[in-house]
Structure 1
């Protein structure tokens, strides 16, 4: 299948100039697997994108945490895909559960944003995931399939999409889906892609896990057949992010 392991670091709304410089310094000095083994993308807040872009090691990439669904104009507070490309930023995170929940971004709106970002030449980390209530109701697969369907209905080329499964109940809570739980959902997502998009897209699209990933649990999670990497939150601000990157060696060995 040849899916390269992928690790994203979502810094969320954190950091000062000095703190960001320290994080970058830690990343720059870290001993990590080569680009042939793992693709690394870090996502600082908008205001630090130029700083990180110009100081981060060249084998790591930089992503924005969001972008608008249209070209620039009368959209106060938004940042367009065109602006990101102007800064030489080529990745963006879209549909994160915090934006879905807090700002009310619907499945359809996220699908529109993914389609527009791709049309402008950005690569997209598209987030999906269920709440605790939805999991307890047994509707996990139904929920993530609907979120994925809204994206699939709007795009035809998946080559620049990484699908990030992030169970909402595990984000920032310290709770982590067990490796078996993560594998089960990733398997169902890949099955959905095979049946509703194409076998080729199912085989080639990377499906990564996010939700309280850390240095201690990353290796076991990485060993699951359909887990192609991680979208890391709080731990991406800490030196243990290097340990998470090294979990790519587990996938390589399997």
Structure 2
């Protein structure tokens, strides 16, 4: 039985939370955390609520920075009335469903080349390679989203806690995490109309369906307890109902 208590774990998390230091990149606003994932000046979600920026924390670790794992973007916790603790691992995926993805672009390219006899020879030569690229592109996106919760829970948190308290065995940390509720939320950029998905609903559902089987396996292995894939417009509801409730 792990001797790590919820209070000890919260104390560990609070070492990354300097409320007096407004530019603390380890404990940052959702706006800034989600902005880092966009690769430009746009934030996926505009919200001043602060959470732990797990990616930055991992980069600041002497141990983890040597071989940086895949991490969820944000981490937060909720103390429940019954004395239990719930952890929330959050991913921000800047995925604009209005833009064609690589698979669509490659499909259109192949179809266009087939429509022109002069390009048919070129199509026959490269179609197989183009289809391979299309296949592996889709796999890489899912692969990254699947790795993030696994490596965050099984590698990042245990290593960080070990740095915080060298007297604790990593096995003890894993035992503690096994007993804590672990929730995964993936927020993607999409558009909504009156609180419902608009014409991009099918593509959103397709992305969700492609990940559900993988996340269900993570649940069966007690790596996570719950998961949700949501459009960014649902973040305020999530914050109110799951974090602040």
- TM-score range (shorter-chain normalised) is 0.3 to 0.5
Higher relative helix content: 2
Query: TM-score, normalized by length of structure 1?
Result: 0.31
Larger radius of gyration: 2
TM-score (ref. length: structure 2): 0.32
